[in-house]
């Protein structure tokens, strides 16, 4: 036959009417020709064709020096990445310390490279037993920490390439190609499981670790043996042996992929035949499968491992997928044994499935020191005259042990609140502290003793301050008695008006409460003289219509807001909310106002404050904010700019800080014309707070004369009352309110009052100043009869 190399059509030898096996004859012929550096290749004709070709020579030309360079370089490379792997846990050690080097060498470098060497030796021995000489594996080093591939070795090709080796038949090609990946996968799985077992469940981290997301099978086994949280922790600071196992399994899995040049492609050729594998249909199917699989794993949007692998596989299929000259098989016609084919197919499929890498084989654990998560109930109902527990859960997503502390403020004596903290019982205002282990949670218990009586019982707001490693946050728990109708807070909400004050309270209405009525009464049980419900005398409550909450508002007489917290003078001054149900049940409570009735005046200009100022003292912590602003226990307030004898501070520019030692000099303090100024004293709740009101009068700036209470008293006599006060200005205007007969005169800064009652009734009198925005100062006198005295 014609051609570059001699070829003959051959027929099987017939001996005693039996044809000889052409494949065995070919193998015998090649054993003879091998000594002469020739080889015979079998093809199909009528019936067979033999082509004689020269056998490749000098393929095994890699020198001992080259082998030593690659293996020694890989050994050093694995030590480098192993040290980088352990460094987050051993930040106090240097890289050359024995405590760092020995674990890396013993549990990473030696197992990792030793297994690769074992795979190389075994596949050489298996090939030799089948009459084929192959080269050993040469590890290609990656001598720097690269978190998508933190193994120090990037590839493990053989020298020479196994595709360039001459193979007698497909069976030998497939079996030898399977040895290396099998050794890597099995050894890697064993190392991963042992490494997970040796990994501690808690460690000290000082830098961001790299998490290993193990392949499917070891991940399932690790989760089963260690539990979900235990596996997550172990994979976040895995033992070096687990790192070695992960690297071996990834290399073994990649080796089984059907990309040209990899063992998986040679196994595919062994099963399908060279021509079938290199056919256009097969290559298109492989290319599409590679691209689709890569996209499913986020090849171009996710982990760089998949990006590199998808591009490598797709390019190798496009460039070398149709090359029928590689691998070189002398007897491509002889099929693999049926049993072997079935067995190899199952092994390849199961290996690819069970060793399937995670979507992110490696990941930087950016939340390794994440803050704590607090689960705080917003609303809790407690039975009256009972003791119950409220649970607060603190959860950690971090990989380190975190310190926490919690403190509370309730502002009421009717409720007795305390912490159950580490076996001790602490007052709610004391600090309860503890630790949360990595990925664990802790329960913090508040012991709540509710009021004994229904009358006077109200809900409260428990203010909480959490600290997580010196980072603080605030929260509120609304605690209310489990009653048909009850106020959610012990305070009225006041609109800030002195002349016609409007106060509102929120009532919690149980869905099973009977229909009833809300009225307003005086603290002594009589009718309220100074307060009345807004636009009505009673409010009908139908639980199905109000939806759980209802707002009740009252309008007060001029100046009545100053009497709201003066119950010690007389209970008649206090408005009491009363609810009476159709079934005879009832509830009532006298509420107070939470904020002061006076405003802090400001004209937006600087005011000189020294140690004689009535409001400000040395070292006070000032905070500008809103009405509900709480003191930031996590802050570190600093002194304003100054030279130790004079200072200047504009709170519009810096909202909080410390006042200097005013004994050494004054400070020029500037406040905006709106907002709230709070004084903090180390607790969450401000020690004192004022609403800031505008004024055009510089001399009244940074004073609380607007709404400032001058005097208040109750009397039970028709005798004339004479009193005198000093005012901050000399041009105050007089305003009288109520049913008394006041005679008021102002002489400069002196105010004189002569009050004559029209009868001998019980009477309340309030004196206060009001400063208008235009600078007018009003001297208000309100005197009201509360009925017949007792």
Check: CB of residue 343 under 8 Å from CB of residue 181: no
Percent of the chain past pLDDT 90, that is, above it, reads 44
Tell me what the mean pLDDT of segment 652-671 comes to.
Answer: 92
Domain 372-481 has CATH 3.40.30.10: no
Tell me what the mean pLDDT of segment 134-158 comes to.
Answer: 88
Q: Count the neighbouring beta carbons within 10 Å of the beta carbon of residue 109.
A: 23
Check: CB of residue 152 under 8 Å from CB of residue 77: yes
pLDDT surpassing 80 at residue 757? no
Q: How sure is the predictor about 776, in pLDDT bands with cuts at 50, 70 and 90?
A: very high
Check: CB of residue 454 under 8 Å from CB of residue 384: yes
CA dist., res. 199 & res. 192, Å (int): 10
Q: Is the peptide bond before 521 cis (omega within 30 degrees of 0)?
A: no
Check: CB of residue 389 under 8 Å from CB of residue 448: yes
Measured CA to CA in angstroms, residue 181 lies from 72, 316, 405, 641 at distances of 22, 20, 53, 71
Please write the tens of the pLDDT for every residue from 27-58.
888 888 888 888 888 888 778 888 888 888 88
What's the number of CA atoms in the CB half-sphere (13 Å) around residue 268? 22
CA dist., res. 457 & res. 198, Å (int): 58
Check: CB of residue 479 under 8 Å from CB of residue 382: yes
Q: Which helix (H) or strand (E) holds 234?
A: helix 228-236
Which tokens in the block code for residue 113? 């490279």
DSSP per-residue string spanning 357-416: PPSSSEEE-TTTTPPEEEE--SEEEE-TT-EEEEEEEEEE-SSS-EEEEEEEE---SSSE
Which tokens in the block code for residue 372? 């704590």
| Secondary structure letter of residue 105 according to DSSP | I
- pLDDT at position 343, please? 62
pLDDT surpassing 80 at residue 15? no
- pLDDT at position 16, please? 62
Tell me what the mean pLDDT of segment 369-391 comes to.
Answer: 93
pLDDT surpassing 80 at residue 752? yes
Check: CB of residue 515 under 8 Å from CB of residue 540: yes
Helix axis angle for 338-354 and 240-255, nearest 10°, is 130
Q: Count the neighbouring beta carbons within 10 Å of the beta carbon of residue 81.
A: 27
Please write the tens of the pLDDT for every residue from 421-455.
988 999 998 999 999 998 899 999 999 999 999 99
Q: For Cα atoms 30, 34, 35, give the angle at the middle one, nearest 5 degrees.
A: 135
Which tokens in the block code for residue 144? 């720097």
Percent of the chain past pLDDT 70, that is, above it, reads 95
pLDDT surpassing 80 at residue 240? yes
Residue 223, SS3 per DSSP? helix
Check: CB of residue 374 under 8 Å from CB of residue 443: no
| Secondary structure letter of residue 706 according to DSSP | B
Q: How sure is the predictor about 462, in pLDDT bands with cuts at 50, 70 and 90?
A: very high
Tell me what the mean pLDDT of segment 568-577 comes to.
Answer: 81
Indicate the burial class of 254 (C-beta count within 10 angstroms; 0-12, 13-18, 19 or more): buried
| Secondary structure letter of residue 728 according to DSSP | S
CA dist., res. 330 & res. 42, Å (int): 6
pLDDT surpassing 60 at residue 340? no
Helix axis angle for 110-129 and 64-86, nearest 10°, is 140
Q: Is the peptide bond before 296 cis (omega within 30 degrees of 0)?
A: no
Mean pLDDT across the chain: 87
Q: Which helix (H) or strand (E) holds 554?
A: strand 549-556
Check: CB of residue 386 under 8 Å from CB of residue 432: no
Domains 372-481 and 485-593 share a fold: yes
Partners of 733 in beta bridges: 778
Tell me what the mean pLDDT of segment 748-767 comes to.
Answer: 85
Check: CB of residue 355 under 8 Å from CB of residue 396: no
- pLDDT at position 493, please? 92
Measured CA to CA in angstroms, residue 479 lies from 36, 62, 262, 458, 482 at distances of 98, 81, 68, 9, 9
Among 567, 566, 575, smallest CA distance to 525 is for: 575
Q: Is the peptide bond before 73 cis (omega within 30 degrees of 0)?
A: no
Q: How sure is the predictor about 532, in pLDDT bands with cuts at 50, 70 and 90?
A: very high
Which tokens in the block code for residue 559? 């100046």
Residue 789, SS3 per DSSP? coil
Q: Which residue's structure tokens are 């926490």?
A: 404
Tell me what the mean pLDDT of segment 81-95 comes to.
Answer: 81
Please write the tens of the pLDDT for every residue from 174-233.
889 999 999 999 999 999 999 999 988 877 777 788 888 888 899 899 889 888 888 888
Higher pLDDT, 626 or 338: 626
Check: CB of residue 166 under 8 Å from CB of residue 95: no
CA dist., res. 40 & res. 49, Å (int): 10
pLDDT surpassing 80 at residue 669? yes
- pLDDT at position 667, please? 93
Contacts of 117 (CB under 8 A, 6+ apart): 71, 137
Please write the tens of the pLDDT for every residue from 280-338.
888 888 888 888 877 777 666 666 777 888 888 888 888 887 777 788 888 888 876 65
- pLDDT at position 93, please? 75
Helical H runs in 437-586?
Answer: 543-546
Q: For Cα atoms 423, 429, 432, give the angle at the middle one, nearest 5 degrees.
A: 35
Q: For Cα atoms 165, 332, 8, give the angle at the middle one, nearest 5 degrees.
A: 100
CA dist., res. 784 & res. 781, Å (int): 10
pLDDT surpassing 80 at residue 459? yes
- pLDDT at position 275, please? 83
Which tokens in the block code for residue 161? 């390439």
CA dist., res. 459 & res. 457, Å (int): 7
Higher pLDDT, 719 or 222: 222
Partners of 657 in beta bridges: 622
Higher pLDDT, 636 or 404: 404
Domain ranges of the chain: 7-54, 64-278+323-364, 372-481, 485-593, 599-700, 709-785
- pLDDT at position 19, please? 66
Check: CB of residue 79 under 8 Å from CB of residue 72: no
Buried b (16+ CB within 10 A) or exposed e, 37-52: eebbbbeeeeebebbe
CA dist., res. 137 & res. 185, Å (int): 16
Check: CB of residue 143 under 8 Å from CB of residue 218: no
Pairing of strands 709-715, 763-771: antiparallel
- Give me the phi and psi of 46, to 5 degrees please: -125, 80
- pLDDT at position 567, please? 58
Tell me what the mean pLDDT of segment 545-557 comes to.
Answer: 91
Please write the tens of the pLDDT for every residue from 731-748.
999 999 988 888 999 999
- pLDDT at position 683, please? 80
Buried b (16+ CB within 10 A) or exposed e, 698-726: eebbbbbbbbbbbebebbeeeeebeeeee
- pLDDT at position 191, please? 96
Check: CB of residue 497 under 8 Å from CB of residue 554: no
Chain-centroid distance of CA 326 in Å reads: 53
Indicate the burial class of 361 (C-beta count within 10 angstroms; 0-12, 13-18, 19 or more): buried
User: What's the CATH code, domain 485-593?
Assistant: 2.60.40
Q: How sure is the predictor about 482, in pLDDT bands with cuts at 50, 70 and 90?
A: very high
- pLDDT at position 3, please? 64
In this prediction the pTM is 0.73
């Amino acid at each position: 036959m014609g051609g570059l190399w001699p070829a003959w059509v051959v027929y099987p030898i017939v001996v005693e009417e039996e044809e000889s096996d052409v494949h065995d004859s070919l193998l015998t012929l090649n054993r003879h020709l091998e000594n002469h550096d020739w080889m015979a290749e079998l093809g199909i004709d009528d019936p067979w064709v033999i082509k004689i070709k020269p056998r490749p020579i000098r393929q095994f030309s890699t020198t001992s020096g080259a082998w030593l360079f690659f293996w020694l370089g890989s050994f050093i490379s694995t030590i480098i990445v192993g040290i980088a792997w352990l460094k987050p846990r051993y930040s106090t050690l240097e890289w050359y310390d024995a405590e760092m080097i020995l674990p890396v060498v013993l549990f990473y470098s030696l197992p990792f490279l030793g297994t690769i060497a074992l795979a190389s030796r075994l596949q050489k021995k298996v090939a030799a037993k089948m009459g084929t000489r192959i080269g050993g594996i040469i590890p290609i080093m990656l001598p720097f920490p690269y978190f998508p591939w933190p193994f120090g070795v990037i590839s493990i090709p053989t020298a020479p390439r196994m595709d360039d080796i001459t193979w007698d038949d497909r069976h030998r090609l497939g079996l030898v190609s399977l040895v290396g990946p099998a050794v890597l996968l099995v050894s890697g799985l064993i190392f991963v499981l042992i490494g997970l077992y040796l990994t501690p469940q808690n460690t000290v981290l000082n830098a961001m670790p790299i998490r290993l997301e193990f392949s499917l099978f070891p991940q399932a086994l690790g989760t089963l043996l260690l539990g979900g949280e235990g596996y997550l922790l172990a994979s976040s600071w895995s033992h070096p042996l687990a790192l070695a196992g992960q690297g071996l399994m990834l290399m073994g899995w990649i080796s089984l992929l059907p990309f040209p040049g990899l063992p998986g492609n040679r196994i595919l050729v062994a099963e399908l035949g060279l021509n079938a594998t290199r056919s256009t249909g097969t290559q298109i199917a492989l290319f599409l499968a590679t691209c689709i699989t890569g996209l499913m794993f986020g090849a171009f949007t996710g982990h760089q491992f998949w990006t590199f692998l998808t591009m490598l596989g797709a390019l190798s299929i496009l460039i070398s997928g149709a090359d029928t000259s590689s691998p070189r098989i002398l007897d491509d016609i002889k099929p693999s044994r049926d049993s072997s084919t079935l067995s190899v197919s199952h092994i390849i499929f199961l290996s690819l499935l069970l060793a399937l890498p995670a979507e992110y084989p490696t990941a930087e654990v950016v939340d390794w020191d994440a803050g704590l998560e607090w689960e705080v109930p917003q609303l809790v109902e407690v039975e009256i005259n009972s003791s119950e527990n409220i649970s607060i859960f603190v959860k950690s997503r971090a990989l380190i042990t975190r310190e926490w502390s919690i403190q509370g403020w309730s502002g009421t004596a009717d409720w007795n609140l305390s912490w159950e903290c580490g076996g001790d019982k602490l007052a709610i205002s004391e600090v309860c502290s503890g630790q949360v282990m990595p990925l664990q949670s802790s329960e913090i218990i508040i012991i709540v003793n509710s009021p004994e009586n229904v009358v006077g019982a109200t809900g409260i707001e428990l203010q909480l301050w959490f600290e997580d490693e010196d980072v603080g946050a605030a929260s509120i728990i609304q605690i209310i008695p489990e009653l048909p109708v009850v106020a959610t807070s012990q305070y009225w909400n006041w609109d800030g008006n002195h002349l016609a004050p409007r106060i509102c309270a929120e009532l919690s209405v149980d869905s099973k409460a009977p229909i009833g009525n809300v009225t307003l009464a005086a603290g002594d049980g009589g009718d309220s003289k100074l307060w009345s419900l807004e636009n009505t005398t009673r409010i009908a409550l139908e639980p199905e219509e109000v939806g759980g909450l209802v707002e009740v508002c009252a309008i007060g007489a001029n100046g009545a807001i100053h009497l709201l917290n003066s119950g010690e003078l007389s209970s008649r001054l206090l408005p009491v909310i009363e609810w009476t149900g159709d079934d005879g049940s009832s509830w009532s409570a006298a509420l107070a106002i939470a904020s002061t009735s006076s405003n802090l005046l400001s004209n937006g200009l600087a005011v000189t404050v020294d140690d004689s100022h009535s409001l400000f003292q040395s070292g006070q912590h000032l905070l500008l904010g809103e009405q509900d602003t709480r003191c930031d226990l996590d802050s570190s307030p600093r002194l304003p700019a100054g030279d130790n004898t004079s200072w200047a501070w504009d709170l519009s520019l810096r909202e909080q800080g410390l006042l200097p030692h005013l004994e050494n000099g004054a400070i020029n303090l500037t406040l905006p014309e709106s907002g709230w100024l709070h004084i903090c004293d180390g607790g969450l709740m401000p020690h004192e707070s004022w609403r800031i009101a505008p004024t055009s009068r510089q001399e009244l700036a940074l004073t609380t004369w607007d709404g400032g209470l001058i005097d208040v008293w109750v009397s039970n006599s028709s005798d004339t009352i004479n009193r005198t006060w000093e005012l901050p200005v000399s041009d105050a205007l007089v305003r009288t309110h109520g049913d008394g007969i006041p005679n008021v005169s102002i002489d400069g800064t002196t105010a004189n009052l002569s009050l004559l009652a029209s009868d001998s009734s019980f009477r309340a009198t309030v004196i206060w100043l009001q400063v208008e925005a235009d600078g007018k100062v009003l001297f208000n006198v309100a005197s009201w009869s509360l009925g017949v005295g007792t």
